[in-house]
Amino acid sequence: MDNKKINVLICCTGSVAALKIPEIVARLLQEKIEVKVVTTDRALHFFDSSTLSIPVLTDADEWKAWTKRGDPVLHIDLRKWADILVIAPLDANTLAKISNGICDNLLTCVVRAWDLKKPLFFAPAMNTYMWEHPLTYEQIEKLESWGYREIPVVEKTLVCGDKGAGAMAEVSTIVEIILEERGRLVTDR
Protein backbone atom coordinates (compact mmCIF):
# COMPACT_ATOMS: atom_id res chain seq x y z
CA MET A 1 0.00 0.00 0.00
CA ASP A 2 1.23 3.48 -0.87
CA ASN A 3 1.30 5.37 2.43
CA LYS A 4 1.33 8.73 0.69
CA LYS A 5 -1.84 8.07 -1.30
CA ILE A 6 -4.72 10.26 -0.25
CA ASN A 7 -8.36 10.39 -1.34
CA VAL A 8 -10.04 13.77 -1.57
CA LEU A 9 -13.76 14.19 -2.05
CA ILE A 10 -14.78 17.57 -3.46
CA CYS A 11 -18.41 18.39 -2.74
CA CYS A 12 -19.68 21.11 -5.02
CA THR A 13 -22.87 23.17 -4.65
CA GLY A 14 -24.78 25.56 -6.88
CA SER A 15 -22.70 28.71 -6.62
CA VAL A 16 -21.31 30.29 -9.73
CA ALA A 17 -17.89 29.53 -8.19
CA ALA A 18 -18.49 25.93 -9.27
CA LEU A 19 -16.98 27.17 -12.54
CA LYS A 20 -13.64 26.59 -10.79
CA ILE A 21 -14.19 22.85 -10.21
CA PRO A 22 -12.25 21.69 -13.31
CA GLU A 23 -9.29 23.84 -12.21
CA ILE A 24 -9.36 22.52 -8.63
CA VAL A 25 -9.54 18.94 -9.88
CA ALA A 26 -6.70 19.45 -12.37
CA ARG A 27 -4.43 20.93 -9.69
CA LEU A 28 -5.11 18.05 -7.29
CA LEU A 29 -4.51 15.43 -10.01
CA GLN A 30 -1.16 17.07 -10.78
CA GLU A 31 -0.29 16.42 -7.14
CA LYS A 32 -1.14 12.71 -7.60
CA ILE A 33 -4.15 12.97 -5.30
CA GLU A 34 -7.09 10.63 -5.92
CA VAL A 35 -10.13 12.83 -6.48
CA LYS A 36 -13.86 12.26 -6.75
CA VAL A 37 -16.47 15.00 -7.07
CA VAL A 38 -19.99 14.98 -5.67
CA THR A 39 -22.25 17.70 -6.98
CA THR A 40 -25.73 18.94 -6.37
CA ASP A 41 -27.92 19.09 -9.47
CA ARG A 42 -27.69 22.90 -9.47
CA ALA A 43 -23.90 22.86 -9.44
CA LEU A 44 -23.89 20.89 -12.70
CA HIS A 45 -25.18 24.03 -14.39
CA PHE A 46 -21.79 25.70 -13.93
CA PHE A 47 -19.31 23.17 -15.30
CA ASP A 48 -19.24 20.37 -17.84
CA SER A 49 -18.78 17.21 -15.81
CA SER A 50 -18.06 15.19 -18.98
CA THR A 51 -14.74 17.02 -19.38
CA LEU A 52 -13.40 15.67 -16.09
CA SER A 53 -11.41 12.43 -16.08
CA ILE A 54 -12.57 11.45 -12.60
CA PRO A 55 -15.93 10.29 -11.20
CA VAL A 56 -18.49 13.09 -10.85
CA LEU A 57 -21.35 11.76 -8.76
CA THR A 58 -24.84 13.12 -8.38
CA ASP A 59 -27.97 12.25 -6.48
CA ALA A 60 -29.13 10.15 -9.46
CA ASP A 61 -26.04 7.92 -9.06
CA GLU A 62 -26.92 7.29 -5.42
CA TRP A 63 -30.37 6.02 -6.33
CA LYS A 64 -29.19 4.08 -9.42
CA ALA A 65 -26.62 2.25 -7.31
CA TRP A 66 -29.16 0.72 -4.93
CA THR A 67 -31.97 -1.62 -5.94
CA LYS A 68 -31.80 -4.41 -3.38
CA ARG A 69 -30.28 -5.38 -0.05
CA GLY A 70 -26.53 -5.82 -0.42
CA ASP A 71 -26.18 -3.12 -3.10
CA PRO A 72 -23.80 -0.25 -2.30
CA VAL A 73 -25.08 2.82 -0.47
CA LEU A 74 -23.08 5.47 -2.26
CA HIS A 75 -22.98 8.16 0.42
CA ILE A 76 -21.65 5.65 2.96
CA ASP A 77 -19.08 4.25 0.51
CA LEU A 78 -17.85 7.77 -0.27
CA ARG A 79 -17.65 8.63 3.41
CA LYS A 80 -15.41 5.59 3.92
CA TRP A 81 -13.35 6.24 0.75
CA ALA A 82 -12.45 9.87 1.45
CA ASP A 83 -9.60 10.93 3.71
CA ILE A 84 -10.46 14.62 3.32
CA LEU A 85 -13.79 16.21 2.42
CA VAL A 86 -13.83 19.69 0.90
CA ILE A 87 -17.10 21.48 0.23
CA ALA A 88 -16.18 24.02 -2.44
CA PRO A 89 -18.06 26.09 -3.24
CA LEU A 90 -20.51 25.95 -0.34
CA ASP A 91 -23.56 27.99 -1.27
CA ALA A 92 -26.04 29.60 1.12
CA ASN A 93 -28.68 26.95 0.52
CA THR A 94 -26.50 23.96 1.33
CA LEU A 95 -24.87 25.82 4.23
CA ALA A 96 -28.33 26.23 5.73
CA LYS A 97 -29.17 22.59 5.13
CA ILE A 98 -25.95 21.19 6.57
CA SER A 99 -26.06 23.39 9.65
CA ASN A 100 -29.54 22.03 10.37
CA GLY A 101 -28.76 18.39 9.68
CA ILE A 102 -30.79 18.19 6.50
CA CYS A 103 -29.66 15.43 4.15
CA ASP A 104 -31.87 15.35 1.07
CA ASN A 105 -29.32 14.63 -1.68
CA LEU A 106 -26.08 12.71 -2.16
CA LEU A 107 -23.90 15.64 -1.11
CA THR A 108 -25.71 16.46 2.11
CA CYS A 109 -25.95 12.74 2.98
CA VAL A 110 -22.16 12.33 2.69
CA VAL A 111 -21.66 15.38 4.89
CA ARG A 112 -24.26 14.20 7.43
CA ALA A 113 -22.57 10.79 7.60
CA TRP A 114 -19.03 12.25 7.77
CA ASP A 115 -16.62 10.86 10.36
CA LEU A 116 -15.88 13.85 12.59
CA LYS A 117 -12.41 12.49 13.26
CA LYS A 118 -11.52 13.13 9.60
CA PRO A 119 -10.88 16.65 8.22
CA LEU A 120 -13.70 18.57 6.58
CA PHE A 121 -13.10 21.97 4.97
CA PHE A 122 -15.71 24.29 3.52
CA ALA A 123 -15.27 27.26 1.20
CA PRO A 124 -18.39 29.44 1.26
CA ALA A 125 -19.36 31.42 -1.84
CA MET A 126 -22.27 33.77 -2.14
CA ASN A 127 -23.34 37.29 -2.99
CA THR A 128 -22.34 39.92 -0.41
CA TYR A 129 -25.97 40.51 0.56
CA MET A 130 -26.35 36.84 1.45
CA TRP A 131 -22.94 36.75 3.10
CA GLU A 132 -23.77 39.67 5.39
CA HIS A 133 -27.05 38.19 6.62
CA PRO A 134 -26.79 37.19 10.31
CA LEU A 135 -27.84 33.64 9.44
CA THR A 136 -24.57 33.10 7.60
CA TYR A 137 -22.46 33.78 10.68
CA GLU A 138 -24.70 31.65 12.90
CA GLN A 139 -24.59 28.71 10.53
CA ILE A 140 -20.84 28.88 9.95
CA GLU A 141 -20.30 29.02 13.70
CA LYS A 142 -22.31 25.84 14.05
CA LEU A 143 -20.19 24.05 11.44
CA GLU A 144 -17.03 25.20 13.21
CA SER A 145 -18.35 23.93 16.54
CA TRP A 146 -18.32 20.43 14.99
CA GLY A 147 -14.68 20.83 13.94
CA TYR A 148 -15.32 21.72 10.27
CA ARG A 149 -12.76 24.25 9.06
CA GLU A 150 -13.65 27.33 7.03
CA ILE A 151 -11.63 28.41 4.02
CA PRO A 152 -12.51 32.11 4.27
CA VAL A 153 -14.23 34.03 1.51
CA VAL A 154 -12.43 36.85 -0.27
CA GLU A 155 -13.53 40.29 -1.29
CA LYS A 156 -13.73 41.06 -5.01
CA THR A 157 -16.04 42.00 -7.84
CA LEU A 158 -18.54 39.16 -7.93
CA VAL A 159 -19.91 37.61 -11.11
CA CYS A 160 -23.15 39.58 -10.63
CA GLY A 161 -21.10 42.81 -10.75
CA ASP A 162 -21.39 43.67 -7.05
CA LYS A 163 -18.16 44.29 -5.17
CA GLY A 164 -17.70 42.93 -1.67
CA ALA A 165 -17.08 39.91 0.53
CA GLY A 166 -18.54 36.51 -0.26
CA ALA A 167 -16.46 35.21 -3.16
CA MET A 168 -14.97 31.75 -2.83
CA ALA A 169 -11.29 31.62 -1.82
CA GLU A 170 -8.79 31.40 -4.67
CA VAL A 171 -8.17 27.95 -6.15
CA SER A 172 -4.52 28.19 -5.08
CA THR A 173 -5.58 28.74 -1.44
CA ILE A 174 -7.93 25.75 -1.49
CA VAL A 175 -5.30 23.49 -3.07
CA GLU A 176 -2.61 24.66 -0.63
CA ILE A 177 -4.84 23.83 2.35
CA ILE A 178 -5.50 20.34 0.97
CA LEU A 179 -1.78 19.76 0.39
CA GLU A 180 -0.93 20.90 3.92
CA GLU A 181 -3.54 18.53 5.31
CA ARG A 182 -2.17 15.69 3.17
CA GLY A 183 1.25 16.37 4.69
CA ARG A 184 -0.20 16.06 8.18
CA LEU A 185 -2.17 12.88 7.44
CA VAL A 186 0.76 11.16 5.75
CA THR A 187 3.09 12.01 8.65
CA ASP A 188 0.60 10.54 11.13
CA ARG A 189 0.34 7.21 9.26
The residues of the shown chain that bind ligand FMN, judged by CB under 6 A, are: 13-17, 40, 42-43, 91-94, 125-126, 130
Picking from 91, 125, 85, 131, the residue whose alpha carbon sits closest to that of residue 109 is 85
Instruction: Give the nearer residue to ligand FMN in terms of CB position, either 130 or 171.
Output: 130
Long-range Cβ pairs for the range 128-133 (8 Å, 24+): 128/158, 128/162, 128/163, 128/164, 128/165, 128/166, 129/162, 130/92, 130/166, 131/164, 131/165, 131/166, 132/164, 132/165, 132/166
Dist CA 2 CA 121 (whole Å): 24
The answer to whether the CB of 84 falls within 8 A of the CB of 182 is: yes
Examine the residue annotation and report whether 160 is marked as an active-site residue of this protein.
yes
- The nearer residue to ligand FMN, 33 or 121, going by C-beta atoms, is 121
Kindly tell me which of 8 and 98 has the beta carbon lying closer to ligand FMN.
98
CA 48 to chain centre: 17
Instruction: Give the shortest CB-15-to-ligand FMN separation in angstroms.
Output: 3
Report the nearest approach of ligand FMN to the CB of residue 33 (Å).
24
First-to-final CA distance of the chain: 12
Least Cβ distance, residue 183 to ligand FMN (angstroms): 30
Cβ proximity to ligand FMN, 7 vs 93, nearer residue: 93
Our CB check for ligand FMN shows the closer of 33 and 87 to be: 87
Q: Which residue is nearest to ligand FMN (CB)?
A: 14
Minimum CB separation of residue 135 from ligand FMN in Å reads 12
Helix H or strand E encompassing 143:
helix 134-145
Nearest partner of 24 among 92, 83, 109, 87, judged by Cα: 87
Min dist. Cβ of residue 46 to ligand FMN (A): 8
Task: Give me the residues paired with residue 12 across strands.
Answer: 39
Catalytic residues: 160
